[in-house]
Amino acid sequence: MSTGVRRRMGVEERRQQLIGVALELFSRRSPDEVSIDEIASAAGISRPLVYHYFPGKLSLYEAALKRAAEDLAGRFAEPAEGPLGARLLRVMARFFDFVDEHGPGFSALMRGGPAAGSSTADALIDSVRQAAYEQIITHLGTPEPPARLELVVRSWISLAETTALIWLDGRRIPREELQAQLVHDFAALMAVSAAYDEETGALLRRVLKEEPGEGPFGDLIARLVTFAS
Amino acid sequence: MSTGVRRRMGVEERRQQLIGVALELFSRRSPDEVSIDEIASAAGISRPLVYHYFPGKLSLYEAALKRAAEDLAGRFAEPAEGPLGARLLRVMARFFDFVDEHGPGFSALMRGGPAAGSSTADALIDSVRQAAYEQIITHLGTPEPPARLELVVRSWISLAETTALIWLDGRRIPREELQAQLVHDFAALMAVSAAYDEETGALLRRVLKEEPGEGPFGDLIARLVTFAS
């Protein structure tokens, strides 16, 4: 406060502050290593007061996870304008921003960390995956995708998660490269699936027709062809 | 027993029998739904006797998981003979055999089921992934793979897991098709990565040169080319 006076917070305001403080700590170190004492200290309140708002560390962790999940799902939103490859590339950049900001917490969660066995955490992870899936299906313009296209999209989402986890483990490959590679992977997996499914094939042809030659899909195809010779 | 006489089992023999009975039950229904009473009844012994060999359901579950993990890792072993695409296709067939045999248990485990939070279960899952990774690296003949090739192999393994999980959820796509698709996916992901890594590119060219035109890699390339026109 600019007045230097410590204002008394309302219940919901205090809860939101604690969630923010906890999310910050859970993002920077493995959540297992973050204590309630630390959260209390970072929030400038006493340990018992933390328990007044959250019955235990798990409930605070789940609340922080909920905020992170909403944040991530929000980053998938992308205007339906311009070539698909470029749209997906922008979403990948925001996804890696998120992974970068929440590195240790993201790793711990996805590797079955502190919330393992928490049905709330599992449901939140599923809701983010579902949000990603629905965004992609909307951009593809296929509200009722065939089973093989659904498989491509859902399995590619898991590929993106794994790629991000491997990146976090040592950051040996520049993230910009991985963002572009995942866009290429998406087109490549669609091309493979198109062999088994006419609808996916027709969709891929339509998408590729609208891609500029220098866009992320255009240069993939040019490259793949070199392996055919 | 052919004599009809119930022989008294030794401790280790009884443990192994219980593990086998439990694995059978954990494979057919979600392990959460399987009770110790049921396991005791299926093994023909009393509930207290089960507890004599295993302190609780989790320890019996972990022992069953260990046997399943060894079984699965064993199925990755493939002679280093003939074209790589055909080798990988045979391994995929055995992987889907395993997934088919252990469907509900496999789903529950991979979706963070009954053993969630069990570091033993996490370590077993990691050990199977590592076995798969090492097999593939051996077949590729690259004992010290570049970071980008390691990423391709590890992320493809997660793609195979997700594909199997989606298959189990309704079995809407024939598994033979998915087995072949995963082999294609592997080559496609390698081709994408080759753009960023000369070593992966050289390796892919070498692999493709040895592939027969009618093999799983040969027809992929032919198909991808059709999207380039």
**B173/A151 touch (CB, cutoff 8 Å), yes or no:** yes
Determine the 3-state secondary structure of A135 from DSSP.
helix
pLDDT tens profile B32-85? 899 999 999 999 999 999 999 999 999 999 999 999 999 999 999 999 999 999
Is residue A3's pLDDT more than 70?
Answer: no
Task: State pLDDT tens for residues A154-207.
Answer: 999 999 999 999 999 999 999 999 999 999 999 999 988 988 888 888 898 888
In this prediction, residues A123-133 reach a mean pLDDT of 95
Q: Which residue has the higher pLDDT, B222 or B152?
A: B152
Q: In this structure, is residue A195 part of a structural domain?
A: yes
pLDDT of residue A117: 64
Q: Which of B166, B196, B227 sits opposite A155 (nearest CB)?
A: B166
Distance between CA atoms of residues B19 and A186, nearest Å: 41
Contacts of A18 (CB under 8 A, 6+ apart): A39, A43, A50, A53, A54, A60
How many domains would you assign to chain B? 1
Q: Do A194 and B111 touch (CB under 8 A)?
A: no
Q: Which residues of B15-44 are buried (b: 16+ CB within 10 A; e: fewer)?
A: eeebbebbbbbbbeebbeebebeebbeebe
Contact A159 B163 (CB under 8 A): no
Residue B91 in domain: yes
Chain A contact set for B193 (CB, 8 A): 181
What confidence tens digit (pLDDT) does each residue in A183-194 have? 999 999 998 898
- CA–CA dist B97, B85 (Å, integer): 18
Inter-chain contact B191–A155, Cβ cutoff 8 Å?
Answer: no
DSSP string over B37-72: HHHHHHHTS-HHHHHHH-SSHHHHHHHHHHHHHHHH
Asked if the structure places residue A114 within a domain, the reply is: yes
DSSP A157-224: HHHHHHHHHHHHTT--S-HHHHHHHHHHHHHHHHHHHHTT-HHHHHHHHHHHHTS-TTSHHHHHHHHH
Could you give the CA distance from residue B179 to residue B170 in angstroms, rounded to a whole number? 16
Residue A41 belongs to some domain of the structure? no
CB contact under 8 A, A189 and B188: yes
The C-alpha of A16 sits at a distance from chain B's nearest C-alpha, in angstroms, of 28
- Please report whether residue A198 resides in a domain: yes
The chain A residue lying nearest B190, using CA atoms, is A185
The pLDDT of residue A2 is above 80: no
Q: How many angstroms away from the CA of B151 is the closest CA of chain A? A: 7
DSSP-assigned letter for residue B33: G
Residue B226 pLDDT grade (very low, low, confident, very high; cuts 50, 70, 90): low
Q: What is the predicted ipTM?
A: 0.89
Split at pLDDT 50, 70, 90, the class of B160 is very high
- Condensed to tens digits (0 to 9), the pLDDT of residues A7-28 reads 678 889 999 999 999 999 999 9
Average pLDDT over residues B178-205: 90
Confidence label for A118 from pLDDT (cuts 50, 70 and 90)? confident
What value does the mean pLDDT of chain B take?
89
pLDDT computed for residue A9 by the predictor: 81
Which of B117, B150, B205 is opposite residue A227, by nearest beta carbon? B205
Spell out which residues of chain B touch residue A205, defining contact as CB-CB under 8 Å.
227
What pLDDT, on the 0 to 100 scale, is given for residue A1? 43
Chain A interface test: which of B155, B173, B175, B182 (most A C-beta within 10 Å): B155
Is residue A206 domain-resident?
A: yes
Q: Is the Cβ pair B151, A159 closer than 8 Å?
A: no
- How far is residue B47's CA from residue B31's CA, in Å, rounded to a whole number? 17
Q: What is the CATH number of the domain that holds B139?
A: 1.10.357.10
Q: Could you read off the pLDDT of B12-26 as tens digits, one per residue?
A: 999 999 999 999 999
Residue B218 pLDDT: 66
Question: Which domain covers residue A116, as residue numbers?
Answer: 65-226
- The pLDDT tens digits for A57-67 are 999 999 999 99
Mutate to test the interface with B, among A30, A177, A181 (most CBs of B within 10 A): A181
Mean of per-residue pLDDT scores for chain A = 89
Residue A5 lies in a domain: no
In a domain, A52, yes or no: no
* Position B211 pLDDT exceeds 50: yes
Measured between beta carbons, the chain B residues lying within 8 angstroms of A154 are: 162, 166
Decide which of B97 and B219 is more confident.
Answer: B97
Q: Is the pLDDT of residue B220 over 80?
A: no
Is A117–B122 a contact, with Cβ atoms under 8 angstroms apart?
no
As a whole-number percent, the residues of chain A with pLDDT over 90 amount to 68
Please judge whether A148 and B173 are an interchain contact, meaning their C-beta atoms are less than 8 angstroms apart.
yes
Determine which of A126, A153, A162 to mutate to test the interface with B (most B C-beta atoms within 10 Å): A162
- Is it the case that residue A114 has pLDDT exceeding 80? no
Nearest to A172 among B147, B162, B172 (CB): B147
